[in-house]
Structures are given as structure tokens and as C-alpha cells.
Amino acid sequence: MRWLAGLAVALVIGAAEKPRTRHLNPDGTPRFSNRLARETSPYLLQHVHNPVEWYPWGDEAFERARKLGRPVLVSIGYSTCHWCHVMEEESFEDLEIARYLNDNYVAVKVDREERPDVDAIYMAAVQAWTGRGGWPLNVWLTPDRKPFFGGTYFPPRDGDRGASMGFLTVLRKLKEVYEKEPQKVRESSDHIVEQVREYLAPKPAAGLPGVKALDDAARWAREHFDPAWGGTRGAPKFPSGLPQRFLLRQHRRTGDSEALRMATLTLEKMAAGGMYDHAGGGFHRYSTDERWLVPHFEKMLYDNALLVLDYLEAYQATGREDFARVAREILRYLERDMSAPGGGFYSATDADSADDKGVRREGWFFTWPAAEAPLQLREYYGVTKEGNLEGRNILHLAGKAAPPGLEQAREALYVARKKRAPPLRDEKILTAWNGLAISAFARAALVLAEPRHAGRAARAAGFLLSSVERNGRMLRSWKDGQARHNGYLEDHAFLAAGLLDLFEATGDARWLAEAIRLDGLLEKHYEDRAGGGFFRTSGDHEALVAREKPGPDGAEPSGASVAVMNLLRLHELTLRDAYRQRAERALRAAGTGIERSPAAFGEMLLAIDFHRDAAREIVIVTPKARPEAEPFLARLRRTFAPNRVLAVVADAEVANLARVAPVVEGKRALRGRATAYVCERGICELPATDPEVFERQVRKVRGAL
């Protein structure tokens, strides 16, 4: 009898919903249920009716393993992971494999998006063993949580998918080693834990990273650039493979035209390819080929939020309206397909969906048979009878001239597609990823002169601050009315960055005050005061076998990089030198990794560029209200000036705002006219009441740093 089977059924399926398992009773109810029933994670709930007796991560599982003298299998993934689904269907739904697991192991399922701390530790171990990583991540642990073996996807049996050794054989062999060679297991696990600890918390560098790191990263980008299709050479291609925003800054700083070409060509080709959803907007996770044509079809909130920033900055740097259009379309996608009723944003949508026969297939929802594509769009989007993916068509820009009525035809595609069975949507709300989305909407409001985007950002910020906070601390995730899991460095840092962007977009001091408060939490609970930098987990977090100090970016930026940029921005807004000092300690802490692989620290490179530049403090004081600043903001929008902070304030509110943003203190609207102050390190140029003079002041570039 499975644990609380009836409760699991009640929690996970409704009367009309088909259970996600092939093991059903005659009445259609699931035959198996397990402890994952009490979780809210969509990924964990996907596995609640497996015949495997899964536990969630926690003391209960490891105490049971210790009591029974068994090893622990920890399987880590996320709800929209295609190969996680494949391994579930092949192995975790297989009765023989499940029976062996249940009789010989304690099996633990982890949602990497809820527990990035656990994922980072065991991913580092697997990468040390195999030289690569990915999901699903399967790791074998001792009951004291130390890893002794691991890998990613395993086919179920020997010979499957060409593998010499399948998952069942691996389980048997490792159980035998665990029982017959305990000393070898202990030595192996102790050794890898030391390696992981050194990797996740490297020693700081002697000096601050500077211009050399920027130039080395630009050199790496040139050496790895694909001159035909943009991005890095080869496949697969990820949006984050080439640091576009850094390249735009490198062009601004040095005049390097190749840096600008690399960034703009990459953004052009990405938006033209099948990785971009031409019917609904937004980007899929990555391209499986060098042409950005055939994507892995899942869509992630963080990818799309970050790509909004890429396209907005490219628009500012070039004035090209096509880049602004892509940014708008991504935002529209997030608003209509990823927005939760309370104001937050959902996490992701799956790559797989049901075809006309109810069979789950990757990309079915997003691809088109020729007969379903309108005639006027077929040439433009490269639609053929044969198709380019299993007889169906991935839309991509094949024709140069847009046909008449393109926008209406695209909307018709979107409406028609909505009639298909949609891919699963992961409806948990993650604080960090919502922080990125807040930044995307807030910056779009400022750059595109579309204030409604700031309103959408404010709704998300208000939701997080009211619903995902406990005892003054941010939690990691929210779903089904429950906020859960301790917040991580990135949850606080990304949200603080979003609030700083929202302050700049609106001038509302509340958002700046909240950003300052969140940074205070980071300083108290996450900062390494001795060595500089930040830990991913708070000092009162669950004790794991290692405590990570995040370094390189992954698919999303490192929380440490964003925290450093926040400190530099707060220094300019508050004029408090303590912020700069903390930022410099954090830069030193990351220095060794940056020296070794600068291009892997794309977001930190932005902070280095900001720190080495003479960052501008821009204050616009209006006689009465923000709209009076519009002539100045219009000039700022068409200027790529990334290393600056902005405060727009009415004359009567200067004293109030100065309490949280001392940079505005003493500034006023001259002669009843909106007045702009452009300052560097507290030293201001002459106040400008003429927008043209203001633009000349803002456009100045210092050149070599």
C-alpha cells in the first residue's frame, strides 16, 4: 500500500483530469502514489504517481537511508525538461526498475528551480567526474549527502539508445560497490566533496578586475563568433552563449565596430530563426542547430526577460526599430501567456504537447502543416509541403519582404494555435525570475516611452513584496497560495535590481527604499564579510555539504554579479561609499574566475564596465510632475548610456526623495522649467534646461578606462 495514496489522488488530480502515469486502476485512478503529494512543485507532482517511492529532499529521506543502510539516488530536473520526461517514461514508470529502486535505495526527487543550491552542488560533482552536465541530473549519495557517482540521462537498459550500460545495470553495480567496498565509497565521496567546495567557493584575487578582463572577454567573443549566423560557432546555441550587452558596451567604450557587429548580427539571426516564436512572440530555450532554426521548444521566463534587455539596449545603441519590435513582442507574450492573476509571472512552458491523437510530441504545438498556414505567409516564413521538422514547419524568416497584412495574419496564427492542446505550463512563481521580468517591463517603460509597462512591473513587485515574503525575508517560490523555500542570493538580488529599474521608470521612492532594504538583507545574511562576495544561501539556511559562492553566469546571471551592480547603482544614488567598498570586495572575490574565463562572467563584466567608467548621476527636476521631464527623457532614450543612474523628481518632492536618494539633494527646477543635472562622482556639469545640451552631456564617452 502506497503512502497516503488517497490524499495524493485528491491533491494531484481532479475527477476529470487524467493522471500522469500509465499505471491505472480499472476505475481510472492511479495505481501508485508517493510522498511527493504534499509538495506544490509542478515537477515533483509530475512524479507523484510513479511506481518509484519518491521522497522530497529533506531529513526524512536521509534518516531512512541511514536506518536501512542504503544509498540514496537523487534525481534532479524541472517540469519543462524534455529529457526528464523521457527518463520518467522509460525508467521511473518501469515496474522492474521501480521495484529495484524501492528495494535497494531511497529515491529523492528535486526541482532544481526550487532548490538551485542542491542542484549546484551535485552538478559540480557530476561535471568534475564527466566533464559535462545537464538535466535530468542523477546522483548517488551516501546517507550523509556526499556524492559518490553521478550522470545525466541514462537509457533504461543495456543497449537502449546505443548505450553499453543502462540505468538498471548502473543501479545494480553501484549498489554492489556501496555494500562491498564501503571504504572506496567513503574515500571517493570525501574527495569529490573537497573538489566541489573548492570549485564553488574559490579564493579571491589580489586586485580588482579591470580593463584587461573586458578586452580579454571581447577577444574570446571574436575567436568563437559565428560570422554567418551569429552567436558562438557550432551547436547547440543558447541565447546567453555570447554576452550581447557586454559587446554593446565594448563598442561604446572603445569604438570597436566588430563588437557591435557581433551583437547585432546575433540578435538579428536569433529573431529571424525558428528559435523565435513568430506566431506568439518570445523565444524558445535554445537552438539545436547553428542556424537558430530548430529549437528545443520549452520557453523560460528568465530567457525572455533577459532577451528584452538585450533588444532594448541594441535598439538604443543602433536606433533600429526592428529591435524595439522584438522587445515589445516578448513583453506581449509574457503579458498574455505567462501572467498570473495575482500579478506575478509563471515560470515556463514545456517543449512537449499532445498531438491530434493525444500522443505527447516535442514542438507539436508550435509547428505547422503547410495546409494550416495562410497562403500569404508561406513564402515569408519558409513553409513547404515537406516541412523542416517531421513533416511540419517551424516558422522562420525566409522571405525578405513582409507581405501585406502581416500583423493581422500573425495574430490569426496565434488564435488558431490556441485551439490546440497547449504544452504544460509551470505555474510556480519564482522570486528571482520575476525580478528579471520586473526589470524587463520597467526598462521597456523608460526606453520605449510606454508607461503601461511600468504598471505591469509594479503589479508584479507588489505581489512579491506582499505574498512571497515572510518575517521580512523573501522566499523562493509561490504556488497555490503557498510561499515556500528560503530565498537565495539571486531572489533578493534580482528583485532588488528590478525595483531599482522600477524606481528609475516611475520616480516612486517606495521602490528604491525596498531595494535598499533587500540589499541590507543580503549584507546581513548572505555576504562574506571576511572574503568578500556573496554566498548563494543565507547563514541560517540548511547545512549542505558545500556552501556556494556563485561565480560564472549560467542560463541566468549569477546572483553575485547582479548584487555587485546593485551596489554600484546604490552608491551613485545614495553617495554612500560603503556600497562601493562592498562592491569592490565582491569584484576581488570573483577576480580569480574572471581572470581564468572572463567571457563566462558576462553579467559581472557589465559591473566592471560600470565601475571602471565615470558613471553618470542623472537627476531631472520638474516644476510639478514627471511628464514635464519628457523632452529630456526622449533624448535619453535614444542614447546608449548604460553606466548611469536616473532620478526624476518634482520640485516639491526633492526633500522627501533625498532621504533615500541623497543624489537629488539641493537640486531644483530653474526658472520654473524642467532642469537636468548630469554629474560624475558628485561633480555636476552646468544644469541644463535645454534638452539638446543635456543630450550632449549624456553622450560623452570617456574612451579608454
- The CATH number that applies at residue 153 is 3.40.30.10
SS3 content of the chain, % helix, strand, coil (to 5): 50, 15, 35
Per-residue model confidence (pLDDT) at position 7: 39
pLDDT band at 13 (very low <50, low <70, confident <90, very high): very low
Which of 149, 176, 200 represents a domain boundary (last residue)? 200
Which of 170, 200, 230 represents a domain boundary (last residue)? 200
- Domain assignment of residue 205, yes or no: no
* 549 and 691 fall within a common domain: no
Residue 264: CB atoms within 10 A of its CB come to 20
* 13 and 97 fall within a common domain: yes
* 418 and 479 fall within a common domain: no
CATH number for the domain spanning 668: value is: 3.40.30
- Domain assignment of residue 413, yes or no: yes
pTM confidence score: 0.95
Q: Is the pLDDT of residue 588 over 80?
A: yes
pLDDT band at 681 (very low <50, low <70, confident <90, very high): confident
* 674 and 548 fall within a common domain: no
Q: Is the pLDDT of residue 9 over 60?
A: no
- Report yes or no: 453 and 375 within 8 Å, Cβ to Cβ: no
Distant-in-sequence, close-in-space partners of 687: CB < 8 Å, separation ≥ 6: 667, 670, 675, 676, 677
Average pLDDT over all residues of the chain = 94
pLDDT band at 193 (very low <50, low <70, confident <90, very high): very high
Per-residue model confidence (pLDDT) at position 703: 52
- Domain assignment of residue 338, yes or no: yes
Q: Region 628-656: what's the mean pLDDT?
A: 97
* 313 and 280 fall within a common domain: yes
Helix (H) / strand (E) element for 474: namely: strand 473-479
Provide the β-strand partners of residue 644: 616
* 417 and 440 fall within a common domain: no
- Domain assignment of residue 685, yes or no: yes
- Domain assignment of residue 95, yes or no: yes
CATH number for the domain spanning 289: value is: 1.50.10.10
Q: Is the pLDDT of residue 547 over 70?
A: yes
- Burial class from Cβ neighbours inside 10 Å (0-12, 13-18, 19+) for residue 586 reads buried
With CA atoms as reference, report the closest residue to 231 among 201, 270, 204, 196: 270
Provide the β-strand partners of residue 429: 478
pLDDT band at 206 (very low <50, low <70, confident <90, very high): confident
Per-residue model confidence (pLDDT) at position 2: 39
pLDDT band at 242 (very low <50, low <70, confident <90, very high): confident
Sign of CA dihedral 392, 397, 398, 401: positive
* 33 and 159 fall within a common domain: yes
* 500 and 482 fall within a common domain: yes
With CA atoms as reference, report the closest residue to 536 among 122, 145, 205, 116: 116
Per-residue model confidence (pLDDT) at position 4: 40
Helix 630-637 to helix 431-447 angle, to the nearest 10 degrees?
Answer: 110
- Burial class from Cβ neighbours inside 10 Å (0-12, 13-18, 19+) for residue 422 reads middle
Q: Region 136-150: what's the mean pLDDT?
A: 97
Residues written for the chain: 705
* 338 and 227 fall within a common domain: yes
Per-residue model confidence (pLDDT) at position 17: 57
CA dist., res. 279 & res. 347, Å (int): 20
Residue with cell 545495470: 169
Helix 602-612 to helix 244-254 angle, to the nearest 10 degrees?
Answer: 30
- Domain assignment of residue 554, yes or no: yes
- Domain assignment of residue 704, yes or no: no
Of 397-401, 506-510, 542-546, the least confident? 397-401
- Burial class from Cβ neighbours inside 10 Å (0-12, 13-18, 19+) for residue 206 reads exposed
Which of 422, 457, 474 represents a domain boundary (last residue)? 422
For residue 286, the SS3 value is strand
CA dist., res. 705 & res. 702, Å (int): 7
Number of domains forming the structure of the chain? 4
For residue 282, the SS3 value is coil
* 471 and 603 fall within a common domain: yes
Give the residue numbers spanning the domain of 568.
Answer: 211-350+426-612
Per-residue model confidence (pLDDT) at position 659: 97
pLDDT one-digit tens code per residue, 497-517: 999 999 999 999 999 999 999
Residue with cell 505547422: 368
* 607 and 621 fall within a common domain: no
pLDDT band at 10 (very low <50, low <70, confident <90, very high): very low
pLDDT one-digit tens code per residue, 432-442: 999 999 999 99
Sign of CA dihedral 295, 299, 302, 304: positive
* 514 and 440 fall within a common domain: yes
Per-residue model confidence (pLDDT) at position 411: 94
Q: Region 313-334: what's the mean pLDDT?
A: 98
Q: What's the number of CA atoms in the CB half-sphere (13 Å) around residue 104?
A: 18
- Domain assignment of residue 183, yes or no: yes
Three-class SS string for 108-160?
EEEECCCCHHHHHHHHHHHHHHHCCCCCCEEEEECCCCCEEEEECCCCCCCCH
Per-residue model confidence (pLDDT) at position 11: 38
pLDDT above 70 covers what percent of the chain? Answer: 97
Q: Is the pLDDT of residue 12 over 70?
A: no
Q: Is the pLDDT of residue 230 over 80?
A: yes
